[in-house]
A and B are shown apart, each in its own frame.
Chain A
Amino acid sequence: MRKTAFLALLAILIVLVSTTHGDAKPYYEGKVIKIIVATKPGGGYDFWARLIGTYMEKNLPGSTIIVKNVPGAGHVIGTNETYMAKPDGLTIGTFNRAVGLTQLVGMKGVKFDFTKFNWLGSPNSEIYSFLVRSDLYKNIDDVLKADNVRLATTGLGAISYITPLLFYQALGKKNYTVATGYSGAESEMAVMRKEMDGTWGSIESLKTMLDGGFGTCVLLIGKKQPAGLENVPLLKDFIKDEKNRPVVELLNGLNIVGRPFAAPPKVPEDRLKILQDAFYKACHDPGFIKAVQKSEKTVDFVGPDEVDAWAKSMLSLPPETVKLIKKAYGIE
């Protein structure tokens, strides 16, 4: 009796297992796709990922898209996790566009090859802004004349960390301190309560600070000034000498690809194609564009090929520039 019952239970078990696996549906139907965001929830990367996820889901019928925040070490953890994810087309990631530089300088802990990602593209281009305390400085000259400017940054490898290092290096100045550990909105709070004197960030994420009169924007990196900030100099006009051209171009290039999205290497081509299409359609969905505008941001799609070319160019910078970046990292 007991033996029969045991066998019956085993049979139930086998049925239960077999029903949960394997039948021929479109690949993404009933699947969960994970978007790894390399920051805590609430920042710019997180915003874009969640919104794009919603619209990609629409273009991948039957799928569920979830966002997983994997913050830390200036986006290196999240990028590693994306790169090392199972290449089944069920994991994509978004991370700091400057994180490729950590590979360039051979930083410890980097486990990805930036040139081997399968890019989906970027929904926008960024304008990067140097924001400082408005009670201390009026313009960039004030900032450069100051004794010491304390800058809030996320941590090693983040663009908010690299940009000031390269910027001051190019100018040959050392009147600044970089403080690490300010993730997401914490850096804005730090400037607001005068704990820090300034921070670098995308013009959109710093908008609250500018509107509230807590900070002044003294320099911009990007193609052109946004409305209302026409008098603020652009980096490419501010540093013009030939010697520093690669640095300026690097910093400029870093902002054209605003928020890169990538799948790990070795994802089967058909699945990658489906993902890229879904990403493209999501970025061009009128609902998406409207939602982005509602959040006072703009959509400016950058295709996968362009991102790929940019990623490869970053890893083949001239040796002098690499040397400069390494110096800015404190390596060598």
Chain B
Amino acid sequence: MLEAIWQGFLMSISPKVLGLMVIACFIGNFFGAVPGLGGNLALALLIPFVFGWEPFAGLAFLLSMHAVVHTGGSIPGILFAIPGTGPTVATIVDGYPMTKMGKGGQAMGAQLAASGLGGVIGAFVLALLIPVVRPIAIAFGSPEVLMLIVFGLTFVVILSRDSIPKGFMSAMLGLLLSSVGLNPHTGVGRYTFDQLWLWDGIHIVTLVLGLFAFAEMIDLGARGRGGQIAHGEVKMTWYQLWEGTLAVFQNWWLSLRTAIIGTFIGIIPGLGGDVATWVCYGHAVQTCKNNENFGKGDIRGVIAVETANNAKEGGALLPTIVFGIPGSSGMALLLGAFLILGITPGPQLLTNHLDLVWGMVWVLVISNIFAAISLYPISGWMGKLAYIRGSLLIPPIMFLAAIGASLIRGHWQDFLFVAFTGLLGFSMKKWKYPRPPMILGFILGRLAEDYLHKSLAAWGFAFLLRPVCFGLLLLSIASLGYSIWHQQRERAKKKKSIKNIPGEFYFTVFMFVLFVLGFYFSTRWGVKARLFPQLVVIIGGVISLWQLFKMKIVAKQAREAVEIGDEETEKAPGAVRQISTPRSEWTMILWVALFFTMTIVLGFHVSMVLYTVIFLYFFGRESWKTITLFTISLWVGIHFTFEAFTKTTLYGGVMDYLIEYFSG
């Protein structure tokens, strides 16, 4: 055993392997940080290169690239609320508010250190678990996974913050959106309206691009041309990065817990990073003291998510190594690559090539540390972007987000969805509907339904009596009870202020209408297909009615309205508050509408020039020199990032079809 550990270590520090790992870390970070690319695309593009390589070199190259994708993926999330990859979505919840408060440096320092530390812990937990992975895999059948998902869903309460009804409505909307698509158990297309692009359902990154990235852009633009993401003087210093790094180790007990939970969730096939990060985030909010700042820029939120994110890769590697059965889609790609390299994963790998297994553990350790360290200088530089004036920041961010949305599944119609969710996200922010429960519901909803069907097929309702399953059920009930109790206690402490925000009533009516429509369209499906969505819309509908009723009462009690204030902004010390008015909000919404119309019609190549020029000229009132230089750099930058470097085709718009038509 010790010899294998040593052998594995020697293999992974040979100059050739180390050199390849360095390259792989840069590639992995890049594919993670650019929205719409992602680790699976990186693997798919690079697997052909490793044909004929020496097996361990190829393995180290691909594994390290895959392991560090989320390290880079969190940076655009923290800075601009753009998720680089699905599992980095949860980082936005606390990371972006931190940037707005001028603490972007701390967030990124914490993110990098937590990613590195999580990856290392994950690798060691993987090594420790190898002997017991079989009993674990066998103990976790569909019913247990289902209960784990239900447990995750109980975090809706704790994520709902100030208003449990609003949180629940948000969660129900997420659950409803998760049921969109062709249902594998019945073959029924739910809420697809005969649109092929909706058959695959909705992608998490597409949803979050709208819900966060575009919503925040509207918010930024509404504060005028001088609005900045982070207010005041540039506070991006090395000291901030260091503070963030230190915070990870100061919260070592949390880091350790979330890394271990992340690894365990990684082991279970079919769950993956989205679930791991959200369960760990919920866990952090539930167990940390003084948790009232979660969601408003608490560094512990970033730490919990980021440790889990990288740790779960270690877990996902386990079933791949031990059974030859991949635990995630990325691992499935890796598995294919392993076979091509001549390494057959499975039980025999443990008996015949233990050194190779330890080599993988060391590769995970080294690449995670290296990826984190290599990003420090880049983060220090990137962090300053948050202080650029909004007029220059908005076009690149919108293009990056929209290109990401179009690349994820290759349907241009996803723009329409992003535009819709962008408006939805902005409204939710404005009227204080928490967005995290919606994402939690969205991620867990489809899985919950899937595993319920599987559990019932295997055991009928008797599945509830399986010991682990029953235990997890009790845990979920306890978690739910504790959360509600805790929430009530917190609310009792606060001064009771029941006031309606202008327009909130109509937004709640809109939510209610969505639920009613959800019910209406579900009536024509078979029982098995409509059971889940109908349950969701009924709960959502009842709660929204209750909320509307409550608002009427409040309106009677106090016929006064409060001005909406941006809490995060107000808290930033020394910040000059930039005010948005309904008029500036509408102006920005129209700018976003113009953006989508232009892009859909003209495609990215043209709209990148035309829209940027128009936006900078009319909105930003920039000089022609700035406009020209800026537009050209944006075009060239995007062209190289996507088309030249990663061989992706950008959406060409209706123009493309016309050109094709006329050129035969």
With A80-B196, A185-B325, A294-B339 as contacts: A155 and B138 at CB distance below 8 Å: no
Interface string of A240-260 (1 = CB under 8 A from B): 000000000000000000000
Docked-complex contact A72 and B613, CB < 8 angstroms: no
B-side contacts of A22, CB under 8 Å: 659, 663
With A76-B187, A154-B184, A196-B458 as contacts: A2 and B624 at CB distance below 8 Å: yes
Docked-complex contact B184 and A291, CB < 8 angstroms: no
Let me know if B105 is at the binding interface, CB within 8 A: no
With A179-B454, A208-B325 as contacts: A81 and B333 at CB distance below 8 Å: no
Docked-complex contact B453 and A72, CB < 8 angstroms: no
12 A-B pairs besides A9-B631, A21-B663 with CB distance below 8 A are A17-B655, A32-B649, A41-B329, A73-B182, A77-B200, A154-B184, A179-B454, A190-B141, A195-B141, A195-B454, A211-B348, A294-B342
Q: From A67, A69, A155, give the contact of B185 (CB < 8 A).
A: A155
- The CA of A12 and the CA of B608, in the complex, are separated in Å by 12
Closest A residue by C-beta to B331: A42
Docked-complex contact A177 and B269, CB < 8 angstroms: no
With A186-B270, A192-B323 as contacts: A211 and B346 at CB distance below 8 Å: yes
Closest A residue by C-beta to B347: A212
- The listed residue with most A CB atoms (<10 A of its CB), out of B200, B347, B631, is B200
Docked-complex contact A195 and B458, CB < 8 angstroms: yes
With A17-B605, A68-B410 as contacts: A180 and B453 at CB distance below 8 Å: yes
- The listed residue with most A CB atoms (<10 A of its CB), out of B138, B139, B184, B188, is B184
Interface string of A271-314 (1 = CB under 8 A from B): 00000000000000001000100111000000000000000000
- The CA of A295 and the CA of B342, in the complex, are separated in Å by 7
- The listed residue with most B CB atoms (<10 A of its CB), out of A109, A150, A180, is A180
Interface string of B195-208 (1 = CB under 8 A from A): 01001100000000
With A16-B605, A73-B183, A179-B454 as contacts: A50 and B336 at CB distance below 8 Å: yes
Q: What is the minimal beta-carbon distance from B37 to any residue of chain A, in angstroms?
A: 12
Q: What is the minimal beta-carbon distance from B319 to any residue of chain A, in angstroms?
A: 7
Closest A residue by C-beta to B459: A195
Q: What is the minimal beta-carbon distance from B654 to any residue of chain A, in angstroms?
A: 13
- The CA of A86 and the CA of B125, in the complex, are separated in Å by 48
Let me know if B335 is at the binding interface, CB within 8 A: yes
Let me know if B265 is at the binding interface, CB within 8 A: no
Docked-complex contact B647 and A194, CB < 8 angstroms: no
Let me know if B513 is at the binding interface, CB within 8 A: no
Q: What is the minimal beta-carbon distance from B522 to any residue of chain A, in angstroms?
A: 16
Let me know if A40 is at the binding interface, CB within 8 A: yes
Q: From B45, B137, B185, B339, give the contact of A295 (CB < 8 A).
A: B339
Closest B residue by C-beta to A80: B196
Q: From A21, A46, A189, A296, give the contact of B269 (CB < 8 A).
A: A189
**Top 5 closest A-B pairs, CB basis?**
A42-B332, A179-B457, A155-B184, A208-B324, A295-B339
Closest A residue by C-beta to B49: A54
List residues 80-132 of chain B with CB under 8 A from any CB of chain A.
Answer: none
- The CA of A67 and the CA of B45, in the complex, are separated in Å by 9
Docked-complex contact B458 and A156, CB < 8 angstroms: no
B-side contacts of A80, CB under 8 Å: 196, 199
B-side contacts of A25, CB under 8 Å: none
Docked-complex contact A42 and B336, CB < 8 angstroms: yes
Closest B residue by C-beta to A23: B663
Q: What is the minimal beta-carbon distance from B45 to any residue of chain A, in angstroms?
A: 8
With A22-B663, A208-B346 as contacts: A42 and B333 at CB distance below 8 Å: yes
List residues 579-630 of chain B with CB under 8 A from any CB of chain A.
Answer: 605-606, 609-610, 613, 624, 627-628
Let me know if A5 is at the binding interface, CB within 8 A: yes
With A9-B613, A212-B346 as contacts: A41 and B40 at CB distance below 8 Å: yes
Let me know if A64 is at the binding interface, CB within 8 A: yes
Docked-complex contact B609 and A12, CB < 8 angstroms: yes
A-side contacts of B186, CB under 8 Å: 156
- The CA of A50 and the CA of B458, in the complex, are separated in Å by 34
Let me know if A322 is at the binding interface, CB within 8 A: no
With A13-B606, A193-B141 as contacts: A42 and B187 at CB distance below 8 Å: no
How many chain A residues touch B (Cβ–Cβ < 8 Å)?
A: 73
How many chain B residues touch A (Cβ–Cβ < 8 Å)?
A: 68
- The CA of A13 and the CA of B426, in the complex, are separated in Å by 33
Question: Which positions in A face B, CB cutoff 8 Å?
Answer: 1-2, 5-6, 9, 12-13, 16-17, 20-22, 32, 34, 40-43, 46-47, 50-51, 54, 57, 64, 66-70, 72-74, 76-77, 80-81, 84, 107-109, 111, 150, 154-157, 177-186, 188-190, 192-196, 208, 211-212, 287, 291, 294-296
Q: Provide 6 A-B residue pairs closer than 8 Å at the C-beta atoms, listed in order of the A residue.
A: A13-B606, A16-B605, A66-B647, A183-B184, A190-B141, A190-B142
Closest A residue by C-beta to B650: A20
Question: Which positions in B face A, CB cutoff 8 Å?
Answer: 40, 44-45, 47-48, 51, 137-142, 181-189, 196, 199-200, 269-270, 319, 323-326, 329-333, 335-336, 339-340, 342, 344, 346-348, 410, 450, 453-454, 457-458, 605-606, 609-610, 613, 624, 627-628, 631-632, 635, 647-649, 655, 659, 663
Q: From B336, B458, B632, give the contact of A179 (CB < 8 A).
A: B458
- The CA of A44 and the CA of B344, in the complex, are separated in Å by 15
B-side contacts of A6, CB under 8 Å: 613
Docked-complex contact B184 and A72, CB < 8 angstroms: yes
Q: What is the minimal beta-carbon distance from A2 to any residue of chain B, in angstroms?
A: 7
Docked-complex contact A32 and B609, CB < 8 angstroms: no
Q: What is the minimal beta-carbon distance from B2 to any residue of chain A, in angstroms?
A: 27
B-side contacts of A47, CB under 8 Å: 336, 339
A-side contacts of B185, CB under 8 Å: 155-156, 180-181
Closest B residue by C-beta to A65: B48
Q: From A17, A54, A186, give the contact of B606 (CB < 8 A).
A: A17
- The CA of A47 and the CA of B663, in the complex, are separated in Å by 37
Closest A residue by C-beta to B609: A13
- The CA of A317 and the CA of B336, in the complex, are separated in Å by 37
A-side contacts of B183, CB under 8 Å: 73
B-side contacts of A66, CB under 8 Å: 44-45, 647
Docked-complex contact B457 and A180, CB < 8 angstroms: yes
- The CA of A108 and the CA of B194, in the complex, are separated in Å by 11
